[in-house]
Structure 1
Amino acid sequence: MNILPGNTVGIDLGTTYSTIAQLNTDGVPVALQNSEQRTITPSVVLLGEDGKVIVGPSPERMAIENPKNIIEAIKRQMGNKDFFVVYQGKRLTPEFISALILKKLKQDAEAALKATGGGVAGDGTVVNAVITVPYYFNDVRRKATQDAGKIAGLNVIDIINEPTAATLAYAWSKGELGRKDLASKEKTIMVYDLGGGTFDATVVRYTPTNFRVLATDGDVMLGGLDWTRRVVDHVAEQFQRKHKEDPREDPESLMMLTLDCEQAKRDLSGKSQTPINISYHGKNLTVSISRQDFERITGDLMQRTRDTAELVMQQAGVDKGELDAVVLVGGSTYMPVVETMLTEVTGVAPTRDVSPEEAVAQGAAIHAAILEARQTGGDSRLAQAVISRLRSVATTDVNSHSLGIKITDPANKTRKINHIMIPKNTAVPHKVTQKFVTNSANQTRVHLCVLEGDASDPDACTTIGDFRITGLPANLPAGSPVEVTYAYDKNGRIEVSGRELTGKTEASIEIDRAAGLTNDNVDAFESLATEYQVE
């Protein structure tokens, strides 16, 4: 993607909070303040009755609004073609709702830059953006994120994985990034990223000029929201036992209870105990919850992150005590139990050398500056010494989901299985060729179905593309060879080709985040976004 004139930023589009950052003229990644003078913006959208959209409304404002007009955790729906919200007679997709959040970030960042001299480009306009996603986002979710950026009026120059961004920010904070004089000094770190709605654990090995992901795993449906919901259920059940009514049944009551439990969860990071007051239908109850209670009722959630952390260490070939650092990312890492658990698992006390809420956006800003320095030749107000350091940095990622092909099970001809061609955690770019055979005599075509996922059952995987080799030779016997090649490049593009070796007939498909919205859909939503006043 070409970089256009204007400021280039990095954006952490989070489930519960989002942040936008830029490398300033001194080469320091800085999170930009919003109109409320904060560096984090709640990823909450309030669709007003008058057509006015408020992004990040205060709890007080949310308390007086119809809960049906409040959209939270939209990141969990990214790429879900069946999810939509009807507003003013229009069906709004997750991409469009996310674009409203991005539009707010863009507006506020431009105001902040203009107030301080216009940013690196000097004119204050935000044009280009690198947007982050969880490592475990599949191709469909990544495409949806890219579309959201375009709808918001951004030139999305790259989608980068959150742990990679956090690693860039960590190395920069240590004064290591781009230092050719330190190029042989290698470190291995774990990035433990527990945000509001998603979770990743990633092991990265890096020198100041080269970053290589060794292993990653995670869950796009696990985050601080789930801890909060456990507290909601805990106190609601106590209220129900006493008053025989459930405050979760009323949307307004549930929203207020959720806000109170969210605050209680945060309070327990610094206190051993906190009260939660519930009022419903004129009845009241105060429930006192201790940190011990909180950790007990959410213990299985924490265990899931522990299992993942242990798994990626095993896959990376790293034993306890061998990591150079464990980097905490995401607001949910402030829970004290996170540090205790990670110290037990890794043998290393986690570090807060980067801001858990800002590190991902700062790393995205660094990555954006690297791309800009390579393309523009340093045509900005960045110091030349900084530009030189940026140009020397290279990253190597891995694919977070296996890529496979649907074939007939050799052991059971009546069923189909997912045959994995490129296993997850394979360094990209990667290319592999394997031979298969036709199923029956006189086949006239071969259907190749490209799957994303690790399950053996194709129905448990995501179909990301399919194509056919047609015009096979007449009288082709069963068992005739077919050669299939999978190529996965560093930009996330997947090319699959098939070749029937008897008649030399071949076909191919390139998968470039092709699922989700069409170009026409994106253009229509981009036009619609200009109609809404976002605050």
Structure 2
Amino acid sequence: MTAAAPAWALGVDLGTSYAAGAVAVDGAAELLEVGGEPRVPTTVLLTEDARLVAGSYAQRAVGRLPDRAERNPRRYVGRAPMLLGGRPVSAVDALAALLALFVQEGRRRFDDADPARLVLTHPPAWTPDRLAELREVAARVLPRVDVELVPEPVAAAVAHGVTGTVAVYDLGGVTFDATVLVPEPGGFRVAGRPGGDPDLGGEVFDQLVFRHFGGQLAHAAPQWWEQLTTDPARLAAEADLLTEARLAKEALSTFETASQYVAGADADVHISRAELDDLIADDVRRSARVLAETVGGTSVDAVLVVGGASRTPLVQQVLRGAYGERVRVPADPKGAVALGAARLAGRIAAPGPAATAGPAAGIAPVTERGGSGTPAGAGRAAVPVPAAAGRARAEQAPAGPKGRTPAPVAPTGPTRRPAVATDVPGAAPPVDLVPLADAVLDARVVAGRLYVWSAPDGPSARHRISVVDPVSGRAERKIRFGRLVGWAVAEGGIVVAERRDGALHCHTLGADLSVGTSTQLPTPYRPFLVAAGGVAWAVLRSPDTRMTGPLEESGSLAVQVLPLRAGTPGPVVPLGPAVFDYVDGTRRLLDPTGSGSAVPALLGDGRSVALVLGRGGRQTLLLVGPAGEVTPVGEEAAVRQVLAAGGRRLLATATGLEHRSDPRGADLRGGDRRPVLPRPPAGDARWAVAGRQPFAVSVDRLSPGRGLAVHALVEGGLRELGRYPSLLGSPAGARPDEAPRVRADGESLLLGTGDGAGGSRLVAADGAGTRVLAAARGWLEPVGRAAGALVARHVPGAAPGDSCSDPGLLVRVPGR
């Protein structure tokens, strides 16, 4: 007769990038190894025969089946299902597949017995609707086992045995959380509002090391590196190099230098601890500031440092500099949360009256369970979902659907934040703008993709470029930079200008945000960035640019061509002297009556940039092609804009708008000239083209902006479509934040307009007229249409005018 297996309890930390489990038996807790590893990648993959697999097996298959895999399924809790191989898979199903790995390993060790109790951990800011999904995960795998849900920092504190008031610094693979815990009878409770950053973690450090290695490989194996960053078929090699970057980063926790051999490139790459510290210093210092803000005036007895990325020496150095001997680092910061969860589960499962007297130590009954003494099996009961209003940190606690079923069917309703009611008198019927993302500085829709430039830590801190799902708001891919000062988006990719360490750098990204080239610019001035197809142009002002009069800026212009998909940046090509004339001393709006230079812009032929260089009362019109070739096309006196459309050249001049026939292709000299709209005496006018349809946009007054008129070019003449109180942005704007908020939408034009009463309207114009699509208080500008959804940017606190640089909400306009 064999002895019965001992009762055991299970604690599992289903993290964002890695999961860990631990068992508690006879008063002791230890990590549970799955496949010989104490941590399991959280990757899930839907096989070609529709089986959902998880962990290391799924991770190894990512390179071969990238469209069937998701590396961070926990991010989908409370949101729409993920799409794996084109099929929806719910977060509950994905996390259940991960939990099953630990349950199966525990059963193997304990004679197929289920655990007596299960503790699952979760981020401290999760709301009841997300906790309800986590309970459903447990019910799928262990339907007859009682489950407790515990905040991750509480489990970490229990694992380490700290006492008193504790600040927990949790830097994981993808996210960073900062929490203050205060003692209470039986354990801890979370005090105040947790802080953190949902996009800061070890994977950010891995990407920085990846780019560091990329700089070396671009010289050691340029052809291999070019293929890696431009060929989608090389995703497996890219994943391998990212793994090498992670291994090197982890090695620097012990050694001063790390070297990795990259087999495909047949080259070694190197990084020192000092170089890593330089790469990650801004992120680490920012995380320390977030911790300090979360602690506030609270006197803490200990600072507990957990999470896999917290092993980085610079993290501990910075925290010890701030908190001294109060810093506590567990022997295994990666497994601390799972070990604490197992110890809590072991206490619950211990025999005797205490086992059923109430919740585990460290669990606040009302916060975590809505009561104590929940009977076994209650983990299957649904927790009521509250209204979405009032969430202070929506990016950590997105609103979920109001009803769910176990089947992986896309939920309906708002997904990230409470809807923003819009109600502007005299405008379109009020609609609820559905928030998709916040801290957004700009956004573009190109080739059906929604690209977003955001500043989640504030405009002066690190910025982020993302590809965002226009329906759910989920960031499908993202990459972080320092402070960006400009960007341009085209079908082939993106170019951004980053200001770092007093210098300007241009970086290119593929359409899928794959890493391209990096170039330091030979000027301290913000470049003019333009992109089309697979090429970007950076038009540069010379370092000696200076004010030569109260309203005049003089210097020289040059251009550099940057390939978005592949290749090497072109040389810097001088264009010649240039003068910019301004309306006033703020140097914000260009003088529409002068003969100075104009803001570079695409010609409209898909392969050229049009430049107007003004000096000494005369202007030279140049076209710059995709290889950097410069072609003079005319001499003028007061041209502000040149566009090509329908066999015509469209010009905006000091006298107004005109079009000319184009008998010689690029050459502006010759052809008949036809003025169609005089420039308003105190205002300005510009052309805009949507598809094949040219539009004229004019304002009656520049500063402050007043009176907007929209016309369509029909049979060689203009037809007025509509008038509005003002235009958002200005046709004379010299900087990106002052550009007119006008976007093409097929053959229609989308405009952001002021309503004259502190609100804005989204207006659509076509050959038949104009119509108001939405209205809101503050600043509401169009972005474009993606996946059938109309997307806009809303800054509720910004007054409509000729400029807006404040971060705002990315919103979807329902039914439009």
Partner amino acid, structure 2, of 1:351: R
Match of 1:326 in 2: 303
Match of 2:636 in 1: none
Match of 1:298 in 2: 280
Aligned counterpart in structure 2 of residue 111 of structure 1, from 85, 108, 111: 108
User: Matched residues in 1 for 2:202 and 2:45: separation?
Assistant: 21
Alignment of 1:33-432 (within 5 A): 33-34=33-34, 36-50=35-49, 54-57=53-56, 61-62=60-61, 65-81=64-80, 83-86=82-85, 90-114=87-111, 124-126=113-115, 128-154=117-143, 155=145, 157-171=147-161, 187-206=164-183, 209-215=186-192, 216-240=194-218, 243=222, 245=226, 247-249=228-230, 250-278=234-262, 283-314=265-296, 317-318=298-299, 323-348=300-325, 350-353=327-330, 355-370=332-347, 372=348, 382=350, 384=352, 393=361, 395-396=363-364
Which segment drifts farther, 267-276 or 383-392?
383-392
Match of 1:32 in 2: 32
**1:313-343 deviations in Å (ceiling 9; x for gaps):** 215x22xxxx432222211111111110111
Instruction: Quickly say closer, same or farther: Cα 1:59–1:110, change in 2 above 3 A.
Output: closer
Instruction: Quickly say closer, same or farther: Cα 1:53–1:460, change in 2 above 3 A.
Output: closer
Match of 2:488 in 1: none
Match of 1:521 in 2: 407
**1:60-114 deviations in Å (ceiling 9; x for gaps):** 9448743444431222333331632137xx4223332222111112111111222
Partner amino acid, structure 2, of 1:95: V
Instruction: Quickly say closer, same or farther: Cα 1:517–1:157, change in 2 above 3 A.
Output: farther
**1:355-374 deviations in Å (ceiling 9; x for gaps):** 3222212222333345x46x
CA displacement at 1:163 relative to structure 2? 0.2
Alignment of 1:498-509 (within 5 A): none
CA displacement at 1:311 relative to structure 2? 1.0
Instruction: Quickly say closer, same or farther: Cα 1:294–1:140, change in 2 above 3 A.
Output: farther
Partner amino acid, structure 1, of 2:83: F
Instruction: Quickly say closer, same or farther: Cα 1:137–1:228, change in 2 above 3 A.
Output: farther
User: Matched residues in 2 for 1:350 and 1:146: separation?
Assistant: 33
User: Matched residues in 1 for 2:364 and 2:51: separation?
Assistant: 43
Specify every segment of 5 or more residues in structure 2 that has no aligned partner in the other structure, as ranges. 1-6, 372-385, 411-816
User: Matched residues in 2 for 1:124 and 1:449: separation?
Assistant: 40
User: Matched residues in 1 for 2:319 and 2:198: separation?
Assistant: 20
Which segment drifts farther, 390-399 or 216-225?
390-399
| Higher RCO, 1 vs 2 (CA within 8 Å, ≥6 residues apart) | 1
User: Matched residues in 2 for 1:275 and 1:53: separation?
Assistant: 36
* Structure whose CA Rg is larger: 2
CA displacement at 1:235 relative to structure 2? 1.9
User: Matched residues in 2 for 1:59 and 1:85: separation?
Assistant: 12
CA displacement at 1:144 relative to structure 2? 3.4
CA displacement at 1:267 relative to structure 2? 0.9
Which segment drifts farther, 224-233 or 346-355?
346-355
CA displacement at 1:254 relative to structure 2? 1.3
User: Matched residues in 1 for 2:342 and 2:358: separation?
Assistant: 11
User: Matched residues in 1 for 2:396 and 2:102: separation?
Assistant: 34
Contact 1:135–1:217 (8 Å) recurs in 2: no
Match of 1:9 in 2: 10
Instruction: Quickly say closer, same or farther: Cα 1:462–1:165, change in 2 above 3 A.
Output: closer
Q: SS at 1:203's partner residue?
A: strand
User: Matched residues in 2 for 1:295 and 1:397: separation?
Assistant: 42
Instruction: Quickly say closer, same or farther: Cα 1:212–1:257, change in 2 above 3 A.
Output: same
Partner amino acid, structure 1, of 2:171: L
Q: SS at 2:174's partner residue?
A: coil
User: Matched residues in 2 for 1:203 and 1:42: separation?
Assistant: 28
- In the alignment of these two chains, the number of paired residues is 381
Contact 1:134–1:199 (8 Å) recurs in 2: no
**1:21-78 deviations in Å (ceiling 9; x for gaps):** 23312x22333332x2433222223444455555332699448743444431222333
Q: SS at 2:305's partner residue?
A: strand
**1:419-454 deviations in Å (ceiling 9; x for gaps):** xxxxxxxxx99xxxxxxxxxxxxxxxxxx9641433
CA displacement at 1:161 relative to structure 2? 0.8
User: Matched residues in 1 for 2:266 and 2:366: separation?
Assistant: 52
Instruction: Quickly say closer, same or farther: Cα 1:46–1:303, change in 2 above 3 A.
Output: same
Which segment drifts farther, 285-294 or 352-361?
352-361
Partner amino acid, structure 1, of 2:344: H
User: Matched residues in 2 for 1:343 and 1:398: separation?
Assistant: 35
CA displacement at 1:261 relative to structure 2? 0.9
Bigger strand fraction:
2
User: Matched residues in 1 for 2:366 and 2:319: separation?
Assistant: 23
Q: SS at 2:327's partner residue?
A: coil
RMSD over aligned Cα atoms: 3.8
TM-score, structure 1 as length reference: 0.62
CA displacement at 1:296 relative to structure 2? 1.2
Q: SS at 1:192's partner residue?
A: strand
User: Matched residues in 1 for 2:40 and 2:201: separation?
Assistant: 17
User: Matched residues in 2 for 1:331 and 1:260: separation?
Assistant: 17
Contact 2:126–2:397 (8 Å) recurs in 1: no
Instruction: Quickly say closer, same or farther: Cα 1:346–1:234, change in 2 above 3 A.
Output: same
Instruction: Quickly say closer, same or farther: Cα 1:231–1:54, change in 2 above 3 A.
Output: same
Q: SS at 1:264's partner residue?
A: helix
User: Matched residues in 2 for 1:398 and 1:309: separation?
Assistant: 26
TM-score, structure 2 as length reference: 0.42
Instruction: Quickly say closer, same or farther: Cα 1:210–1:158, change in 2 above 3 A.
Output: closer
User: Matched residues in 1 for 2:59 and 2:218: separation?
Assistant: 26
CA displacement at 1:248 relative to structure 2? 3.4
Which segment drifts farther, 101-110 or 269-278?
269-278
Bigger helix fraction:
1
Q: SS at 2:325's partner residue?
A: coil
Q: SS at 2:334's partner residue?
A: coil
Which segment drifts farther, 10-19 or 129-138?
129-138
Instruction: Quickly say closer, same or farther: Cα 1:99–1:391, change in 2 above 3 A.
Output: closer
**1:457-504 deviations in Å (ceiling 9; x for gaps):** xx989785xxxxxxxxxxxxxxxxxxxxxxxxxxxxxxxxxxxxxxxx
Q: SS at 1:515's partner residue?
A: coil
Which segment drifts farther, 73-82 or 101-110?
73-82
Contact 1:21–1:362 (8 Å) recurs in 2: yes
